[in-house]
């Protein structure tokens, strides 16, 4: 990779802030438009390392050296460490942090840059603690001469890797050396940066000493300025020497060029386990810049993802035009969050205590099974040393408190986090519902009155604790636990009835969730190239839902007073699940650019408690208290726990997986993976029940190829097959016969459901350019997903409808992004996705699944407002949504949700006294009225109102 794009500039001039005229960017944008997609794809670096990184040709002694690099996906590294020393001295370490998207950054502190040179290499660490050099090595470190340093410790001369020649420039005075002048400019503008005593800052951009922020005037004036003269450098003979004294602006440019010289960085980070699929990463600094408070809000900004709410208030993530809870795997620190009953996860978790969020589109790595079909969302808890707290308050009434801390005590490292969230939430009017006419006719509301209001009250307690014991020989033993408890209102009602009626007290509609996660992890190196890893985990969840389907006093038979329900028609659904899992894996480096991982997994999932109760009988008349309903034969509904011996309430999954990652050539990497899985599934009998279980095997291969077309362009293709088993609910959920004239049309279990097979093909490219002082990343990928036997709910009868296997559902589209970053405080991005999903089981002309927005675009900008404030803006646009038309009923229940745009704005201070940060966040600042689609089994085609303008004031502090 050519260091410093400015050297490639055809005019030999340093680009101005108006970067578009650069050929590089025009090329990038042209590629972006043609590809109509954006995504991150790794570049290839030097042939013997996994980090794309170019050492600086020289560096100013006593000045912090910032390094950036792109981790090529091999090896499953998710942490990088810089190992540095004066030549011949002892090695010291400094972490590299995962920055925005897929960028790793780290610093060699100024205190280490006092000799004639500094040597360093970069080491990668996998989640299992495996360490391996990814750039240079201890034996062959990169060496950077230090200008103005003392040649007291020259050490042996070692050449850096062949691909990164590092000619020794002459040491010059600042007047003669533009790099020295740039350094001087940097030092003059940010004395704290030059000072080794500069206090540490809290997050990534603040973890490093503050970058010299151009003043507001500088940014504003930049485009209008004449492009400054280029800065000469002995190593860049194509550039002309400066013809006149440098202006402050030119000094600024020099600073950034020097940083560019340090690295042109772009990474495509792997997830916690090796993955072939592209992964979008939001680190904690980026999460804060995005102005999000919850995980689902961050997910909304991922190209290809849209997030909607159900009438119950749950959040659902749609990926590439398809939306199924049970097809998106959610992990917290490696432990699955999806419950075994219906595959749903608690998506509404706070982000404050997260280190990062990784989103993989498609099935992901072979180590992932279960719901990893459409995508994988991995939440990583924060674990860096120190203590942090955040207090926030907002409107509509909301209170947040979050804290996390981590420390090391001898061989034991401990981290903990806790979230407390209380919100009254937004409330919106609901004009009508499926029983509007009945409630009006019965005098339960006046004509024209709204039938109800959405309620979004919530109380969340959430915390985790994790301890790690370092074992002799480089091993580690980890134990962790996590608990969450959520108590909240039902947003609208169970299906299409506004069931939130006041005056119900504690017995009113609501949802209560309790989850406990625990894991025990062990890893140990066998030798220098092989490491073993084992993990056992448990996950239990309890979910209790209390629904009110009608107002108090409602009569199911309008003329029969005996049919009046004093407290309304009600239902209660509760279930509890438990997952027990065990995995073992081994990872070995076959050759320097060839790694092999193999593993085995076993999991037992169980439904441990279940109840579906109603306060009505089969004739729709009220009963005392709650009781199980009856099935079509008149018998009491049998719980899945007891039905056919509970065969649908227990499931064993066993899997073997392997992934081989091989850089065959300098420009070619091949990834092969396979997951062989056996799932215990119930067998249907002729009566529509279960006769036993059988083991259903599946072989799920994955193949990935990456080709470095040029130094700046990488092309990658993947194919992955995944296995999607029906959930317990999809097999065994039963609804009682209930003659209440409404409330039918819900979806129920189908014992005859078969697993689905999902194939995903992705082809993409990314172009990376330095445009002078700016880093530009433009990329895109196209995808094709085909789900054979897709498990889908299609209302065809207006009655209780079973989930069914469709012949095939497919989705075609593209995603991508473009990003320009000038500094940590200044960047813009645009990314989005478009998907066309179709259900092939219906007639041509009716196949499109349009209830998910087919296109979404997000654009954002961060820029400084004076030296102390930052303004973060992001705007999201979603295309129009309409009802699907897979059945006559869906066709008939027409709705149209117009496309809309949402704007979030955030004012964020720079660190105050190095320990505080204040944030004022406005979400949906234009108070745009937004709706979500909802299932309308009763044929009522109204829509679900979503949150309006919300504002939050947050104070963050750290030690």
Partner 1 sequence: MTSQVRWALLALTGFSWLAVGCTTYNTDCTGLVENPEEKIGYLAEDVPLDRAFARHANNALGQLAADAMLHARTSSTQTQETELGVFNGGAIRDEGVCVTRERLPRGELTRGELHEVLLFSNVVTTLDLTGAELLAMFENSVSMLFPEGEVVVPPSGSGRFLQISEGSQLSVDCSLPVGSRVTGLQVGTRDVLLESPDARYRVAISSFLLSGADGYTMLAGLGNDPDRNPRQAIEFGGTDAHLTAEYLSQTYPASSGPEGGLRAEPRIGFANCAAP
Site for partner 1 in 8-27 (CB under 8 A): 17-20
- Answer yes or no whether residue 632 interacts with partner 1 by CB under 8 A: yes
- Pick from 761, 848, 935, 949 the residue near partner 1 by CB under 8 A: 848
CB of 437 to partner 1, least distance (A): 7
Whole-number minimum distance, CB 530 to partner 1, in Å?
Answer: 46
> Could you give the CA distance from residue 771 to residue 4 in angstroms, rounded to a whole number?
9
By CB under 8 A, what part of segment 721-740 binds partner 1? 737, 739
Please, which residue, 196 or 741, has the CB nearer to partner 1?
A: 741
Told to check if 306 binds partner 1 by CB under 8 A, we report no
**Minimum distance, C-beta of residue 741 to partner 1, in the bound complex (Å):** 3
3-class secondary-structure state, position 713: strand
- State the nearest-atom distance from the C-beta of 433 to partner 1, in Å: 12
Answer whether 875's CB lies under 8 Å from 906's CB. no
How many helices, marked H, and strands, marked E, lie in the chain? 11, 52
How many CB atoms are located within 10 Å of the residue 242 CB? 16
- 377 Cβ neighbours under 8 A, 6+ residues apart: 295, 299, 317, 328, 329, 330, 331, 357, 358, 359, 360
Site string for partner 1, 416-435 (x = CB under 8 A): -------------------x
User: Considering the complex, what minimum distance in angstroms separates the CB of residue 650 from partner 1?
Assistant: 25
* φ and ψ at residue 837, rounded to 5 degrees: -100, 140
| Non-local CB neighbours of 65 within 8 Å, separated by 6+ positions | 56, 59, 107, 108, 110, 113, 118, 144, 262
Q: Which stretch binds partner 1 (CB under 8 A): 133-141, 215-223, 542-550, 754-762?
A: 215-223
Positive or negative, the CA dihedral 383, 389, 393, 398 is positive
Alpha-carbon dihedral angle through residues 20, 21, 27, 28, given to the nearest 10 degrees = -20
**Span of 241-249, 369-377, 644-652, 860-868 interacting with partner 1 by CB under 8 A:** 860-868
Binding mask 579-618 for partner 1 (x = CB under 8 A): ---------------------------------------x
Nearest in space to 815 (alpha carbons), one of 12, 180, 41 = 41
Q: Under DSSP, is residue 418 helix (H, G, I), strand (E, B) or coil?
A: strand
| Residue-by-residue DSSP string for 740-751 | SSSS---EE--T
- Contacting residue, 828, 918, 926, 955, with partner 1 by CB under 8 A: 828
- What does each C-alpha distance from 395 to 295, 351, 948 come to in angstroms? 19, 19, 10
388 sits near partner 1 (criterion: CB under 8 A): no
Tokens of 826: 């200044």
Q: Does 933 bind partner 1 (CB under 8 A)?
A: no
Torsion of CA 366, 372, 377, 378, to 10 degrees: -40
Which tokens sit at 168?
A: 């020794």
Site string for partner 1, 30-49 (x = CB under 8 A): ---x--x-------------
Question: What Rg do the C-alpha atoms of the chain give, in angstroms?
Answer: 29
61 is an interface residue for partner 1 by CB under 8 A: no
Write each residue from 440 to 469 as x if it is in contact with partner 1 (CB under 8 A), else as -, in one continuous string.
-x----------------------------
Binding region for partner 1 (CB under 8 A) out of 85-93, 361-369, 840-848, 908-916 = 840-848
Q: What angle do the packed helices 248-262 and 178-189 form, to 10 degrees?
A: 110
CB closer to partner 1 out of 60 and 847: 847
Binding partner 1 by CB under 8 A: which of 21, 199, 200, 223?
223
Instruction: Give the residue, chosen from 173, 188, 899, 928, that forms a contact with partner 1 under the rule CB under 8 A.
Output: 899
Question: Could you say which residues in the range 793-822 bind partner 1, by CB under 8 A?
Answer: 796-800, 818, 820, 822
Strands 452-453, 429-430: pairing kind: antiparallel
- Using CB under 8 A as the binding rule, whether residue 318 contacts partner 1 is answered as no
623 makes contact with partner 1 (CB under 8 A)? no
If binding means CB under 8 A, how many residues of this protein chain bind partner 1?
77
Q: Using the rule CB under 8 A, which residue among 877, 907, 918, 951 binds partner 1? A: 877
Instruction: List the one residue out of 482, 453, 454 whose CA is nearest residue 466.
Output: 482
Binding region for partner 1 (CB under 8 A) out of 62-70, 289-297, 338-346, 841-849: 841-849
SS3 (DSSP) at 670: strand
CB of 100 to partner 1, least distance (A): 15
Rounded Cα distance, 708 and 70, in Å: 14
Binding to partner 1, residues 677-696 (CB under 8 A): 687-688
What string marks each residue from 539 to 578 as x (binds partner 1 by CB under 8 A) or -? ------------------xx--------------------
Does 926 sit near partner 1 (CB under 8 A)? no
Phi then psi for 734, rounded to 5 degrees? -120, 145
Would you count residue 915 as binding partner 1 (CB under 8 A)? Answer: no
Mark the segment that binds partner 1 (CB under 8 A) among 29-37, 346-354, 538-546, 593-601.
Answer: 29-37
Using alpha carbons, select from 738, 704, 754 the residue that is nearest to residue 629.
Answer: 738
736-765 residues in contact with partner 1 (CB under 8 A) are 737, 739, 741-742, 744
Among 262, 637, 889, 944, binds partner 1 (CB under 8 A): 889
Residue 770 CB, nearest approach to partner 1 (Å): 16
410 class by beta-carbon count within 10 Å (0-12 exposed, 13-18 middle, 19+ buried): exposed
Are 5 and 263 a contacting pair, CB within 8 Å? Answer: no
Q: Does 887 interact with partner 1 (rule: CB under 8 A)?
A: yes
Minimal distance, residue 620 CB to partner 1, in Å: 8
Check binding of 879 to partner 1 (CB under 8 A).
yes
Should residue 247 be labelled a site residue for partner 1 when binding is judged by CB under 8 A?
no
Query: Which residues does 37 contact at the CB level (< 8 Å), separation at least 6?
Result: 764, 779, 780, 781, 782, 814, 815, 816, 833
C-alpha closest to that of 47 among 481, 663, 536, 556: 663
List the one residue out of 719, 583, 590 whose CA is nearest residue 653.
Answer: 583
Cα(948)–Cα(430) distance, integer angstroms? 14
Q: Does 135 bind partner 1 (CB under 8 A)?
A: no
Structure tokens at 557: 């038979």
- Please choose, out of 337-345, 369-377, 479-487, 630-638, the segment that lies near partner 1 by the rule CB under 8 A: 630-638
847 near partner 1 (CB under 8 A): yes
Question: Is 952 near partner 1 (CB under 8 A)?
Answer: no
Phi-psi region of 762 (alpha: psi -120 to 50; beta: other; left: phi over 0): beta
Contact 260, 43 (CB under 8 A): no
What's the min distance (Å) between Cβ of 757 and partner 1? 26
Query: Between residue 78 and residue 107, which ones bind partner 1 under the rule CB under 8 A?
Result: none
């Amino acid at each position: 990779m050519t260091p410093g794009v400015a050297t490639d500039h055809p005019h030999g001039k340093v680009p101005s802030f108006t970067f578009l005229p650069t050929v590089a960017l025009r090329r990038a944008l042209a590629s972006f438009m043609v590809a109509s997609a954006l995504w991150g794809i790794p570049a290839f670096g030097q042939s013997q390392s996994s980090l794309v990184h170019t050492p600086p040709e020289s560096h100013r002694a006593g000045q912090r050296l910032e390094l950036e690099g792109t981790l090529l996906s091999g090896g499953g590294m998710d942490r990088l460490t810089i190992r540095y020393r004066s030549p011949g001295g002892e090695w010291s370490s400094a972490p590299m942090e995962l920055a925005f998207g897929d960028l790793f950054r780290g610093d060699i502190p100024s205190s280490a840059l006092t000799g004639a040179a500094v040597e360093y290499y970069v080491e990668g660490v996998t989640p299992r603690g495996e360490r391996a050099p990814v750039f240079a090595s201890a034996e062959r470190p990169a060496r950077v001469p230090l200008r103005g340093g003392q040649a007291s410790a020259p050490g042996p001369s070692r050449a850096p890797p062949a691909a990164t020649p590092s000619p020794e420039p002459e040491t010059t005075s600042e007047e003669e050396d533009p790099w020295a002048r740039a350094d001087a400019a940097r030092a003059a503008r940010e004395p704290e940066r030059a000072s080794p005593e500069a206090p540490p800052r809290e997050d990534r951009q603040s973890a490093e000493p503050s970058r010299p922020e151009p003043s507001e005037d500088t940014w504003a004036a930049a485009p209008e300025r004449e492009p400054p003269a280029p800065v000469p450098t002995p190593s860049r003979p194509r550039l002309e020497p400066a013809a006149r004294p440098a202006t402050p602006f030119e000094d600024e440019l020099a600073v950034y060029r020097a940083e560019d010289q340090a690295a042109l960085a772009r990474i495509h980070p792997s997830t916690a386990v090796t993955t072939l699929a592209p992964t979008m990463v939001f680190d904690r600094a980026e999460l804060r810049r995005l102005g999000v408070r919850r995980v689902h809000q961050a997910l909304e900004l991922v190209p290809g993802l849209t997030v909607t709410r159900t009438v119950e208030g749950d959040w659902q993530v749609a990926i590439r035009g398809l939306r199924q809870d049970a097809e998106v795997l959610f992990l917290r620190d490696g432990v699955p969050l999806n419950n075994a009953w219906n595959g749903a996860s608690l998506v509404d978790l706070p982000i404050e205590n997260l280190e990062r969020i990784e989103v993989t589109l498609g099935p992901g790595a072979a180590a992932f099974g279960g719901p990893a079909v459409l995508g994988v969302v991995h939440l990583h808890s924060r674990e860096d040393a120190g203590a942090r707290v955040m207090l926030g308050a907002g409107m509509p009434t909301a209170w947040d408190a979050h804290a996390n801390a981590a420390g090391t005590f001898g061989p034991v490292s401990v981290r903990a986090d806790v979230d407390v969230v209380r919100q009254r939430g937004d409330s919106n009017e609901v004009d009508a519902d499926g029983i509007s006419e009945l409630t009006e006719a019965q005098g339960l509301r006046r004509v024209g009155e709204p039938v109800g209001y959405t309620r979004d009250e919530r109380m969340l307690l959430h915390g985790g604790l994790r301890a790690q014991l370092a074992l002799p020989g480089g091993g580690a033993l980890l134990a962790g636990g996590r608990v969450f408890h959520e108590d909240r209102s039902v947003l609208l009602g169970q299906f299409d009835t506004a069931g939130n009626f006041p005056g119900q007290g504690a017995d009113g509609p609501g949802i209560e969730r309790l989850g406990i996660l625990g894991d025990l992890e062990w890893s140990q190196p066998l030798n220098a190239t092989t490491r073993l890893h084992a993990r056992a985990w448990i996950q239990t969840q309890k979910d209790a839902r209390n629904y009110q389907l009608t107002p108090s006093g409602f009569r199911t038979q309008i003329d029969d007073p005996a049919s009046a329900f004093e407290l309304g028609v009600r239902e209660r659904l509760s279930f509890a699940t438990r997952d027990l899992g065990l995995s073992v894996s081994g990872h070995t480096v076959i050759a320097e650019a060839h790694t092999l991982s193999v593993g085995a997994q076993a999991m037992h999932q169980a439904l441990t408690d279940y109840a579906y109760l109603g306060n009505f009988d089969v004739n729709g008349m009220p009963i005392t208290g709650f009781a199980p309903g009856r099935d079509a034969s008149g018998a009491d509904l049998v719980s899945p726990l007891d039905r056919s011996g509970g065969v649908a309430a227990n499931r064993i999954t066993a899997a073997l997986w392997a992934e081989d990652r091989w850089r065959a050539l300098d420009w070619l990497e091949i990834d092969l993976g396979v997951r062989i899985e056996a799932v215990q599934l119930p067998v249907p009998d002729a009566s529509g029940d279960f006769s036993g279980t059988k083991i259903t095997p599946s072989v799920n291969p994955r193949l990935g190829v990456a080709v470095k077309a040029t130094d700046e362009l990488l092309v990658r293709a993947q194919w992955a097959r995944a296995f999607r088993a029906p959930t317990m609910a999809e097999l065994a959920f039963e609804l009682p016969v209930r003659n209440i004239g409404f409330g039918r049309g819900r979806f129920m279990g189908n014992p005859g459901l078969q697993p689905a097979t999902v194939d995903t093909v992705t082809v993409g490219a990314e172009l990376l350019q330095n445009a002078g002082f700016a880093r530009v990343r433009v990329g895109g990928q196209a995808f094709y997903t085909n789900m054979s036997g897709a498990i889908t709910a299609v209302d065809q009868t207006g009655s209780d409808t079973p989930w069914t296997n469709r012949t095939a559902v497919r989705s075609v589209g593209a995603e991508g992004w473009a990003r320009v970053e000038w500094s940590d405080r200044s960047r813009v991005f645009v990314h989005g996705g478009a998907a066309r999903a179709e259900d092939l089981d219906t007639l041509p002309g009716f196949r499109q699944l349009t209830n998910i927005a087919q296109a979404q675009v997000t654009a954002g900008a961060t820029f400084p407002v004076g030296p102390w404030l930052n303004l973060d803006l992001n705007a999201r646009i979603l295309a129009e949504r309409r009802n699907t038309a897979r059945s006559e009923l869906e066709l008939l229940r027409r709705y149209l949700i117009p496309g809309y745009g949402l704007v979030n704005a955030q004012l964020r201070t720079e660190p105050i006294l190095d320990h505080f940060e204040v944030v004022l966040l406005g979400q949906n600042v234009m108070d745009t009225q937004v709706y979500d689609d909802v299932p309308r089994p009763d044929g009522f085609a109204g829509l679900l109102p979503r949150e309006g303008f919300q504002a939050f004031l947050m104070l963050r502090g750290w030690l």
